[in-house]
Chain A
Amino acid sequence: MSEVKKIATRESYGNALAELGDEFPNLVVLDADLAASTKTAVFQKKFPERHIDCGIAECNMMGIAAGLATTGKIPFVSSFAMFAAGRAFEQVRNSVGYPHLNVKIGGTHAGITVGEDGASHQCNEDFALMSVIPGMVVMCPADDIEAKACVRAALEHEGPVYIRFGRAACSIINDRPDYKFEIGKGSVIKEGTDVTIIATGICVDSAIGAAEKLAADGISAEVINICTIKPLDKELVIASAKKTGKVVTVEEHSVIGGLGSAVSDALSESAPTPVKKLGMQDKYGESGTAGELVHKYGLDADGVYASVKEFLK
């Protein structure tokens, strides 16, 4: 399946905004001197008067978005995840989250697959930061199809939404005719009985690869794609955990406060199940290519395969 053209979800983000601009006349896009990288420049080209470059001032940008939202606009605020969720955290919390304003945040260049820029730009904390804000929806699409579906769903949803997009090109995994996206709903990519691998974003592809390797060893792994970290599809997670009795989570995020934590929370409440959390183990990333980094930190198919084998021992 990875033979088809790969595309980074940030590209999908920019394309989706441009495609939806006519259908959503209240959509305005804000950026902080990163339009070329976040890909909002694609929207800017088509709708120049509805693209507001706020300069390198993310905290102010978040407040501008809040003010716009009070008047009925639907602002999509864009920056690197590090600065949208990190630098402007308190503005998101107090100016957007607390008044429950209809602001959408697109955090691009998240996780270690930012690559060469290094740890200062590799945000492995955005799920945690955004998830603790009451009423905030947190999503992380796995491919181009899901990324575009997320943008539309966010525009149709009333209330604050955070979506994480990646820098690195990734495979298309959702090109099924019956694909349907819904906020809060995960999907079973492959059914299995021995272990459940729950992944998000670019790591879904690794989970699929790991499941293929496990199958060769006679291990039947169920692969679940969780795009909405919050609200989590607890029903799906619990049902699968009850079936397989073992859960592995995979994310390009700290194992503290992200997908692994959300899954563990859900299971510990109603279906205690051993959970192995793969992700950044309370560490910063570093410079390197995206491929080198996911390999080093055990988040590629080989790494996930090895960790699952170890966990099942």
Chain B
Amino acid sequence: MAMTNQELQKTANEVRKSIITALHAAGAGHPGGSLSSTDIFTYLYFEEMNIDPKKVSDPDRDRFVLSKGHCAPGLYSVMAEKGYFPKEELTTLRKLGSRLQGHPSMQYLPGLDMSSGSLGQGISAACGMALSAKLDNKDFRVYTLLGDGELQEGQVWEAAMFAGFRKLDNLVVIVDNNGLQIDGPVDKVCSPYPIDKKFEAFNFHVINIDGHNFDEIKAAFEEAKKTKGMPTAIIAHTVKGKGVSFMENQAGWHGKAPNDDEYKQAMEELERIGAAL
């Protein structure tokens, strides 16, 4: 039973509240990219992927690799929402003894398909998983989420060349094109544009979407599934910090946690958004 857009939006809003709560409790972490990716995380975990929080070792499950590992708060929050672990655990983020390490570690948290944190590496692991499915004639699909700044890493293009050449049509690379990285706008630091043409040149099927519009998100993943003989790249145009007014489009909110006042304001805003849905 497919979820309605309204249900997806409500779920995503809950995930955003969890992100803010976890980061506030941790006193550090990355809100900007977690919030820009929230709608994609939500669609993947609630609609797209063939997964079951009770069967984290199922060899036939779909896989997700968070190549931009610093957005772990977004991933953890959607996993908690989906039932992988209790939501209360989110406030242990980054703390000593927590399963929620600062960057995703599969050694700590069951349900993670790969450890990440060093930018540029996750996409290669995703290619390895997709290749494995091909070697064994299995049907599972592999999804990986990258930042637009991350595209500056050469390894991303080594992996893209491999995926295109190997025709890994069970692989979907999603780029969170929020336009910002730590030092400022991506096109002021070292421009990765045009992103779509680059992936096309590496033999990907490329789809540009508004990464906050569930109709477009759904259509893109459906199109990816129908695409044979080549991997798909979904370039999701997003707003960094989406959902919290003072975080939106601010490079400064890439990697810092809200203080008590900011936390209060952010939660009020998200409550209001939720109530209006």
- A residues sitting closer than 8 Å to B (CB atoms) are 28, 49-50, 52, 54-55, 57, 59-73, 75, 90-91, 94-95, 98-100
Q: Chain A residues near B92: list those with CB within 8 A.
A: none
| Closest A residue to B128 using CB positions | A67
Whether B162 contacts A54 by the Cβ 8 Å rule is: yes
CA distance A64 to B165 in the complex (A): 14
With A67-B131, A98-B105 in contact, is A72–B59 under 8 Å at CB? yes
| Closest B residue to A59 using CB positions | B155
CA distance A64 to B155 in the complex (A): 11
B176-212 to A contact mask, C-beta < 8 Å, 1/0: 0000000000000000000000000000000000000
Q: Chain A residues near B145: list those with CB within 8 A.
A: none
| B270 at the binding interface (Cβ < 8 Å) | no
How many contacting A-B pairs (Cβ < 8 A)?
105
Which of A28, A49, A54, A90 is packed against the most chain B CB atoms within 10 Å? A54
- 11 A–B pairs (Cβ distance < 8 Å), ordered by A: A49-B135, A57-B162, A60-B155, A67-B124, A67-B129, A70-B63, A70-B113, A70-B114, A70-B128, A71-B128, A99-B107
Whether B161 contacts A95 by the Cβ 8 Å rule is: no
Whether A73 contacts B132 by the Cβ 8 Å rule is: yes
Pick the interface stretch among B3-11, B44-52, B115-123, B250-258: B115-123
- Say how far A36's CB is from chain B's closest CB, in angstroms: 20
Q: Chain B residues near A63: list those with CB within 8 A.
A: 121-125, 127-128, 155, 159
- Say how far B113's CB is from chain A's closest CB, in angstroms: 6
Whether A99 contacts B118 by the Cβ 8 Å rule is: no
CA distance A168 to B79 in the complex (A): 52
| Closest B residue to A73 using CB positions | B132
Whether A91 contacts B124 by the Cβ 8 Å rule is: yes
CA distance A41 to B79 in the complex (A): 43
Whether B124 contacts A99 by the Cβ 8 Å rule is: no
With A71-B129, A99-B115 in contact, is A59–B135 under 8 Å at CB? no
Whether A95 contacts B115 by the Cβ 8 Å rule is: yes
Q: Chain A residues near B129: list those with CB within 8 A.
A: 67-68, 70-71
CA distance A70 to B122 in the complex (A): 12
Whether B159 contacts A71 by the Cβ 8 Å rule is: no
